[in-house]
A and B are shown apart, each in its own frame.
Chain A
């Protein structure tokens, strides 16, 4: 390795893009004298991060710096309250720098000294707090060992799972504090409060009939069915909406309005989820907010940020090497294909586009078929549930109850296979293929829940004779329809957990055993060891979280069940990963994943808003159970409460929610958005201009140096 002070960077065989001259030593010495090069050498050892406060501290402390006397002239600029760590020096140089800083402090005014001191102590306090907080981080060691062995892609999945556990826990705490706590306090007589039940006269008595099933001697299998499907004895517990049939809790000094609390806590935890997810996704975008797809595929990203420095395992490192090689080779091939595509003839383009339209139509047909299957299954299941189910056999019983869940799981299992087969014929670039398949699977998974909810909703509000006019919903079949919703979501959650456990136990572990012991069979070797498929697993937990969000309104304990479920899944997946999986051969980048996970989660949350919104504002609440028996729809609680406010506040609220306010507000927001888009476009144009200018300046510089060198040569060779 050459010494640092000599410039040997000019490869004499290099193919210069602008010209092919060979640089002589004269040129090199010119280049060494340029001010820009000088400052670069100085900055190599004393460089500062891009900070707003100070300039560059030029103190040639290292031994590498014997270039010129200019470097010796240390310009001691004003040192702001800079953090020393941000300097790229080694520790002894930083120490010297700190001594200089402290010496300089004496020359500052009292106010500046105090300011520096206080910022330093504040920073130290923040660091101590962060250090303490990091001890509380859940599963820190597990995730760190996963990262070392499998890389950052898989580690981001487990961090995402941890985030969901904490989110569900917080949602449950909100529900507990505002809904469960007053009821528990009253029920177990901890405080001196009573339930307040307001009888209403306007409601037809027929709507209030809620037949209780006989709770005589319960056979064991009925008990099991009830546990797994939320019917029977579970229906009356605080697990479901029907339990909260009170209109308020009367404490000593005030009356706690339970219906209002129920509705507002739902809105609160949905808003909290939205804000938290958006905050997390913005954190990943600290450097630039708008990312184009090309930046993930860019060669610089793959080369400069390609190696995971936290890999500690030799075999993982080997796999990483081969995956990087594979990725680079495919990218180079893809680029050559892209150049070929650009030269496609019009007939070929027409053929490709018509083929794509046909395949998209097939995709839509597949989706429609799945939705129809779910619709039929739900209707069948609901109808048979109302019959005498105790007379049926145990297995058949459970099958009918779980029919929608089974159909959804089958659809979620089959459709990704179909989609990945179809997309091969559509002739997209490999990266786009992956994204499109993922998008289709996401849509599929989340839309199936919507199909289920829609089917239930249509059944509840459908009645072929006069039944609906009395109460607004089908009160004969569904006296307490929120309970039905809650039960379906509960069943989906439990079934999902069972399927996860079953697949791990009965598919992954035997597969690993087969591969290790019977590896002589070609078929087994072809099937190979399990790879941890990140997109599928992420879709699975987003699906579970969407169900939790939809179901929490109808079943307040569902977030607690979801928390426990995610904790179980964390350990199951971790064990399965450690013992049965090998690291993936296809790279899945960490940054890519964080954005992707949160985007899919956001889609799930938006999809969860729809059924909740419709059931809160359109479907009349059941009059036989629940906190909203005295209101037409659940949302009516809010206008009723607002009407009890003082009149000034009332007029204010009415004006904010009226159209006269909303439309101008919307127009103003649109204008602000257009302004920012225009600004971004202008900045882009300026950047392009500056880049061209830079390239031109560099060519000018080389041209001038060549001319100067040639002139000097001529001078020297001229006979004197």
Chain B
């Protein structure tokens, strides 16, 4: 800490403040945490904005380590062609969406993308099944039985699938989230 090369310029800071929901402190903190993940030689100013960090390294962050959706999060926010690394701006985007100040619409939009395990634009039964398995735990004994899973997915679709086509699209998802009281307080990561 304290090395002069790792301070963001004022214009860059204001620009990031305008483009994200983060405050100045949070942007600086994010920059520091991101630089800590870079190899020693790339920790200066220009490189830290240019170099990408691989997903495995991002997953070592304590905020993401315990999260069952960590791989999906990294995939969704990554702008690389193979979706396997994050640049600093992707990193900022991540924490901006998960910050306190982000609007519920942004959060629900990204939540939809995170839960869409096969990236096809809708949540079908397979997506929901994988989602429930992520929530209940990794092991074999922590999963619901097939009948229970079927009953659960039917209940979810009954509550949220308005047009009865067997999948949840983005508008239906945002509609059901807008009536969910816990969403904004739980969809939050703080650095």
Contacts and interface: CB of A to CB of B under 8 A. Distances in A.
Contacts of B183: 301, 304-305
A308 B103 CA distance: 18
Interface string A84-103: 11101011101100100000
Given A299-B159, A304-B115, A131 B135 contact: no
A332 B152 contact: yes
B122 interface: yes
A280 interface: no
A312 B159 contact: no
B29 interface: no
B54 interface: no
B106 A86 contact: yes
Contact of A321 (B17, B137, B159): B137
A463 interface: no
Give chain A's interface residue range (CB within 8 Å of chain B): 35 or more
Which bracket fits the contact residues of B?
Answer: 35 or more
Contacts of B178: 287-288
A11 B125 CA distance: 8
A304 B162 contact: no
B124 A11 contact: yes
A296 interface: yes
A7 B167 CA distance: 13
A296 B117 CA distance: 26
Interface in B108-154: 109-111, 113, 115, 117-122, 124-126, 128, 131-132, 135-138, 142, 144, 148, 151-152
Given A307-B68, A322-B137, A88 B109 contact: yes
A325 B137 contact: yes
Listed residue (B89, B98, B136, B188) with the most chain A CB atoms within 10 angstroms of its CB: B136
Contacts of B117: 1
Contact of A332 (B118, B137, B148): B148
Nearest to A87: B106
A52 interface: no
A328 B136 contact: yes
B77 interface: yes
B106 A698 contact: no
Interface in A327-346: 328-329, 332, 335
B118 to A, nearest CB: 6
Interface in A281-326: 284, 287-288, 291, 295-296, 298-301, 303-314, 316-318, 321-322, 324-325
B36 interface: no
B105 interface: yes
Contacts of A299: 152, 155-156, 159
Nearest to B115: A304
Contacts of A16: 166
A702 interface: yes
Contacts of B170: 40, 43-44, 47
Contacts of A657: none
A91 B18 CA distance: 10
Contacts of A310: 186, 188-190
Given A40-B121, A303-B156, A313-B66, A91 B20 contact: yes
Given A90-B79, A309-B186, A310-B189, 15 more contacts: A2-B118, A11-B124, A63-B81, A88-B106, A92-B89, A295-B180, A295-B181, A299-B152, A300-B156, A300-B176, A304-B176, A307-B186, A591-B182, A694-B162, A697-B163
Which 5 A/B pairs are nearest by Cβ-Cβ distance? A49-B105, A591-B181, A698-B163, A321-B137, A317-B66
